[in-house]
Structure 1
Amino acid sequence: MWSLIEAAAWIAGIIAVLAGIFFGALAVDWDVEEAGCATGVGLVLIILLLGGWSFFFGLPGGGEDPPTDEETSIASTAPPSTPSDSAPPATTDTPQAPADPYIIADPASGPPGSSFTVTGEGFEPNSRVRIAWAHCGSGNALRDLDTDESGEFSVQLEVPRDLAPGTWSIKAFDPASSGACSGRPDTPFIVE
């Protein structure tokens, strides 16, 4: 949606161009009828250019398209915050609950066939994890692997060659689990 200021600026710009055409034609000794005809041709060209621009690139001032359902469902799970150096160390005899698991892709974008690394932390120690592309179904699995004794992993993968450009989600989950994988650790990846 255009704002009032954007619309006024575009209209003022178009009027200035048309006035320039009209008075420029008069300055080279065209009569008013010829200058009016040149101005009319200029107006038609401006309308065609603005129409072509909006067809291929959207309306000026329109901003970005609203996110698709797939893009809004991709919410990256951020790594847990680390305590500052000035915070006193925790002194407790009770075991600490593990941090929420998360994964990170590095780099977070690339063309089909390119390599990237997925790193995960906060998983159950010595457990099986499946890395999958976009969905949790086994048909989209990239790799099954085991976490180390700290519940961490790092694996180098390749962007599938048949993957369409766009924003995708890489998920990590227990391959033995059943049901939907919503709420599972994920990270966005942009296929270029």
Structure 2
Amino acid sequence: LDVNIQTKLQNFSDFFLWILVLSVLWFIALYVATLYFKRKMYEGYIDPLTTAYNRTYLYEILMKKLAREYQLFMIDIDFFKKVNDTYGHDAGDVVLREVAQRLDKLIRDEDSLIRYGGEEFLIYTTQLNSQQCFEFAERLRENIKAEPIRYKNIECSVTISIGCNPYGSKNEVFADVLKKADEALYMAKVFGRDCVKVAK
């Protein structure tokens, strides 16, 4: 009888051990799958060249969590085509990466830097008034201009033009807010580039 009890206890112990092992393996698999999913989702929202957010992030994530009041900065690298034509597309890629890195260092954690397309970037901020927007944009512009971007033995002097709309509202159609920032950017180009224009 004692032998039967011991056998049953041993079988129960083995069964419990297997359940424990399988549970641990299941949790590990779930954890790895979650990390993989988050990584793939993250990669889907990141521009691989500059590591800034991409337009998918803008339209699928950011637009769903807009603040009641916010600001948009449209940024264009001046004469970027000339960089590609003169030094090649590899040099152009270096310029894009460096500009994105410099811009990213100047924004706050709660702000978003988005590669909007080509040589255009978009910055989303909150809690800035019109004057603060202008001052912030000027810091961005001066930072890019202050130091040439190096590619191999070449130094590329780079400037940016910025159009800002400080009056974004959650109650307004996002496309209209963006359009005003883009129109301000157009005015910055009309006025000779390497400058900041704020939407009225």
The two structures have a TM-score, normalised by structure 1, of: 0.32
Of Structure 1 and Structure 2, the greater helix share is in: 2
Which has the bigger relative contact order, CA under 8 A and spacing at least 6? 2
The two structures have a TM-score, normalised by structure 2, of: 0.31
- Structure showing greater radius of gyration is 1
